[in-house]
Structure 1
Amino acid sequence: MLENWIRPLQLDFKSKQQQSILDYHRDPNCLENARIALIGWDESFIPILEELQSYHFPFNLSIVQLGLVRKPTVEFVLPLIQELQDGGIIAVIVGAEVPAALLFKSHQHARPFFNPVLVDERIRLEEDQSFATTSFVESSPLNCFHISWLAVQMHLAHPGFINSEHYFLDTIRLGKIRQYKESIEPAVRDADFLYFNLAAMRASDAPGKFGHNPSGLYSEEASQLTRYAGLSDRLSALTITGYNPEHLQFAQTTVLISQMIWYFLEGYANRKQDYPIQESSMIEYIVDLSKHGRPLKFLKSTKSGRWWLKVQIDIENQMIDRFIPCSYDDYAQACSDEVSDRLLYAFERYG
């Protein structure tokens, strides 16, 4: 009975590829086997879906488009997202101004602790109310291990929030992504949801975004990032937002968003099932690090070749295992008695 929250699209597809994405309103039973649900926050979703439908899908994945939400507010749409989460279906929400609060609140419902990843040119925690990130993060008790902010540009970032212990912020600057593209994979691998604001893009690559910042992510980097999100075994929701559908050059941005969604789907189709972590399927490496004072336990997946660092943290007087995604470079640095910035920050958070 999802019709309470969504309404159908009036589309007439001619492409043979249209069969790759099923229409819930033509066959509600198609949701039973669905892994991904595409949801439009507003009418701008229609040309994006039309573009996406024209692509080839050389992978086996059950994708359903649900149409448009009847009322684009957090309170109205939240039960829909929660129902999809309860059914193990990933929600991909696309719209000009989708509030981040939708994903924060839906994951508070789904998990006692979660890891948000937000992609934006700046950390929107106090100066900008155009997206709900600001008021929600400051006013709500967040059950977050940490919040990762990717593609932040330092001239736009409030210094009080960079590496803030209060908000458990982990920032990866645009320059680091440009220099070390692989640096974003461990952060995105640990995400429960990805909120992608197109403000993080270069204006030339996303001319339909809000604002005119000439610096930012390239389109290829954005697609790589959403592919990493699709590969994440933890991730259960993706939002792409932050654009002006009335912009004269919105057609180019439509293609960009469609490509980002396609690479997310391709990533999902190639998940390695590393999560939940099963140490029996991992190779263990112990590194004695004199600077840290105790041995470090690294784990390498035999399925994917990806790396984790195992630590124990105290939550309400109970010690639990926490697996921090990392890279081979992090392990190699530890073998040289050095600690990468990412792991050093993790030690500060978890002890």
Structure 2
Amino acid sequence: MGFEFLQPVNDNVLAFREELSVQTLGKKIIVHSAEEGFPELEDVKIAFIGVLDNRGQLDEQRQHVHLNYIRKEFYGLYPGNWHVNMADLGDIQPGEAISDTYYLVKTVTEQLVKQGVIPVFIGGAQDLAYAVYRGYDKLEQMVNYVNVDARFDFGKEDESMSARSFVTRMVIEEPHNLFNYSNVGYQTYFNPQEEIDLIEKLYFDAYRLGEVCKDITLAEPVFRDADFVSIDMSVVKSGDSGNIVKFMPNGFDGKEICILARYSGISDKVSSFGIFNHSDTRQESVLIAQVLWYFVEGVNFRSGEFPFGTRENYTKYIVALDEEEIVFFKSDVTDRWWIDVFSNKIGNNKVKTTALLPCSYQDYLTACNNEYPERLWKAQRKNII
């Protein structure tokens, strides 16, 4: 199956693109147009795909999805000193049933990731993230999913699929490819205590909004270990997003959400990315375009540190606790830290990629204080159970 179901970029957007400076992104991105047809992907590293289906929001205020504003804002930006090739592949139209849309998103994800292309989905409702996750089913790998969201998006087992319940489907439905789920930016008053308890029970990771805003670098190792990252735009406070349709008085500010997008891009492991649940407004489109810009910049500055090809450019630290030693590695190039999981005698290691667990300098200091790093403890539990 090819990509014949993808609709070309809107003619209005293409006309806008024609008027842009030759130095802008719009003139550097290969575009799927009705006139030129579908682009060759041989040298493409990042592919943008719109998904115009938001039925999963189950909301009376649900708006029609079109991405013209976002495309115009993004095309009009100037690139940094970038070297990767990008393509805009157009849009996936809503299928007759929402399951049809899921199938198309899954197919695009599987084919692009297999080709070494990073799909970047700009969509309607965030339940589309489930379809992206399912795109890894035939790729024979476990998936670490990071959800930047004010809510965990769990639901009851018998609840129909929606933007508020799709993570439960990731956990319970076969094939069981979900190795870890991490939430960045949750706000406690939006999440039932039973869901907070479930995060602990499953040894998943969750970082409160205030915790991340106080020190945003705490989130970096989470993204470094991710395969798929999605952003629910309602995690950004309305004062910065411009979304007053669904008013959010608290959330990340514009700078913080761009930093998190850059962390996603710079991670050597992230192979798909998505932005969902945005309002169809010019105001929010400006921010989304800049979030996309920072993700692309991150991809351009990937250092190739994960997994290690060689350990020549790393300093090894051994911390002796009461009952065992913990081995850390610090990159001499980027100053990023890892814990050597195999050295710490984790039992039935399910996936080889967990041999080196991304961590922070703070985790190293925690071990130096004779305390067990929480990230290592959770990694052990997930491998043992």
* TM-score (norm: length of structure 1): 0.90
Q: Are the equivalent residues in 1 in contact too, given 2:238–2:249 (CA < 8 A)?
A: yes
Residue 270 of structure 1: aligned partner: 301
Q: Which residue of 2 aligns with 1:148?
A: 182
Q: CA deviation at 1:318?
A: 9.4
Q: Is the 8 A contact 1:39 1:91 kept in 2?
A: yes
Go from structure 1 to structure 2 and tell me whether the alpha carbon gap of 1:75 and 1:224 turns closer, same or farther (over 3 Å shift). same
Equivalent residue, structure 2, for 1:332: 365
Q: Give the equivalent residue in structure 2 for 1:23.
A: 31
Distance 2:371 2:108 in 1: 46
What residue number does 1:64 align with?
Answer: 87
Alpha-carbon separation, structure 2, partners of 1:70 and 1:253: 22
Q: Which stretches in structure 2 are left out of the alignment for 5+ residues? A: 53-64, 96-100
Unaligned runs of 5+ residues in structure 1 are none
Structure 1 residues 276-285 or 145-154, which shifts more? 276-285
CA distance in structure 1 between the partners assigned to 2:378 and 2:245 by the alignment: 32
In the TM superposition, what are the counterparts of 1:223-262 in structure 2 within 5 Å?
Answer: 223-245=258-280, 250-262=281-293
Q: CA deviation at 1:116?
A: 0.4
- TM-aligned CA distance change 1:334 to 1:171, over 3 Å: same
Measured in 1, the distance between the counterparts of 2:291 and 2:229 equals 12
Structure 1 distance, partners of 2:167, 2:382, is 22
Which residue in 1 is equivalent to 2:220?
185
* Residue in structure 1 matched with residue 316 of structure 2 by the alignment: 284
Match of 2:61 in 1: none
The residue identity in structure 2 corresponding to 1:119 is V
Matched, 1:37 2:81: no
- Contact 2:146–2:182 (CA under 8 A) maintained in structure 1: yes
Work out the CA distance in 2 between the residues paired with 1:319 and 1:230: 22
Q: How many residues align?
A: 345
Which residue in the other structure is 1:309 paired with?
A: 339
For 1:166 and 1:185, the matched residues in 2 are separated by 23
Q: Cα 1:196–1:285, aligned 2, differ >3 Å: closer, same or farther?
A: same
Residue 130 of structure 2 contacts residue 167 of structure 2 at CA under 8 Å; is this kept in 1? Answer: no
Shift in Å at residue 60 of structure 1? 1.9
Give the partner amino acid of 1:39.
I
Q: 1:349 to 1:77 in 2, by over 3 A?
A: closer
Contact (CA 8 Å) 1:36, 1:90: kept in 2 or not?
A: yes
Q: 1:331 to 1:212 in 2, by over 3 A?
A: same
Corresponding residue for residue 122 of structure 1: 151
Partner of 2:382: 349
The answer to whether the 8 Å contact 2:350/2:383 transfers is no
Q: Which moved more, 1:62-71 or 1:94-103?
A: 94-103
Percent of pairs with identical residues:
27
The alpha carbon displacement at 1:149 in A equals: 0.6
Distance between the aligned counterparts of 1:320 and 1:213, measured in 2?
37
Equivalent position amino acid for 1:253 in 2: E
How has the CA–CA distance of structure 1 residues 76 and 320 changed in structure 2, closer, same or farther, with 3 Å as cutoff?
A: closer
State the one-letter code of the partner of 2:44. A
Give the 3 Å change call, closer, same or farther, for CA 317–139 of structure 1 in structure 2.
closer
Q: Distance in 2 between matches of 1:314 and 1:144?
A: 19
What amino acid does structure 2 have at the position aligned with 1:97?
A
The residue identity in structure 2 corresponding to 1:217 is F
Structure 1 residues 309 and 47 mapped into 2: Cα distance closer, same or farther (>3 Å)?
same
CA offset at residue 311 of structure 1? 1.2
In structure 2, the CA distance between the partners of 1:322 and 1:204, relative to structure 1 (3 Å rule), is same
Q: TM-score, normalised by structure 2?
A: 0.83
Q: Choose which of 321, 327, 332 in structure 2 pairs with 1:297.
A: 327
Give 1:279 shift. 4.9
Question: Match for 2:204 among 141, 149, 169?
Answer: 169
Cα RMSD (Å) of the superposition?
A: 2.4
Provide closer, same or farther for how the CA distance between residues 225 and 210 of structure 1 changes in structure 2, counting only shifts above 3 A: farther
Deviation per residue, 1:50-90 (Å, 9 max, x gap): 11011111222201000111345111232122111110000
Opposite residue 294 of structure 1, the aligned amino acid is E
